[in-house]
């Protein structure tokens, strides 16, 4: 267990979002996801930046059927500021996904996504 961070640069986030096959993961709690989220985003509510690897892995296992089969597909994760998204990134990487980006907060990712 530990705090996860490491938000990618705007350029890296924009490059991932520009891909036609990009998957987007919202790591915020379900109630925040239901209020507002990026169209097409999957909800992976990791439970905070201190979420255990085992808990995140269990959530990822539960949504594998909704994730891309090709593990090199770009995936952008976001939350409020980047902590929960970083935990989601690590969980996806543990499952073999290789092009996962921590987009940071919802507002920043939504703004970049809108420019696309």
What pLDDT sits at residue 116?
53
What pLDDT sits at residue 5?
61
Average pLDDT for the chain:
90
Where do the domains of the chain lie, and which CATH numbers do they carry? 10-115 (3.40.250.10)
Contact, 102 vs 86, CB < 8 A? yes
Render pLDDT for 100-110 as a digit per residue (tens, 0 to 9). 999 999 999 99
Render pLDDT for 20-58 as a digit per residue (tens, 0 to 9). 999 999 999 999 999 999 999 999 999 887 788 899 999
Beta strands 100-105 and 75-79, pairing class:
parallel
What pLDDT sits at residue 115?
62
Question: What is this structure's pTM?
Answer: 0.91
């Amino acid at each position: 267990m530990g705090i996860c961070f490491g938000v990618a640069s705007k350029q890296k986030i924009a490059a991932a979002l520009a891909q036609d096959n990009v998957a987007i993961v919202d790591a915020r709690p379900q109630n925040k996801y239901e209020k507002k989220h990026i169209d097409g985003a999957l909800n992976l509510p990791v439970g905070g930046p201190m979420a255990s690897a085992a808990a995140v892995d269990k959530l990822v296992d539960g949504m594998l059927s909704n994730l891309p089969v090709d593990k090199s597909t770009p995936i952008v994760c976001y939350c409020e500021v980047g902590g929960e998204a970083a935990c989601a990134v690590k969980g996806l990487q543990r499952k073999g996904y290789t092009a996962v980006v921590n987009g940071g907060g919802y507002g920043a990712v939504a703004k970049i996504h809108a420019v696309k």
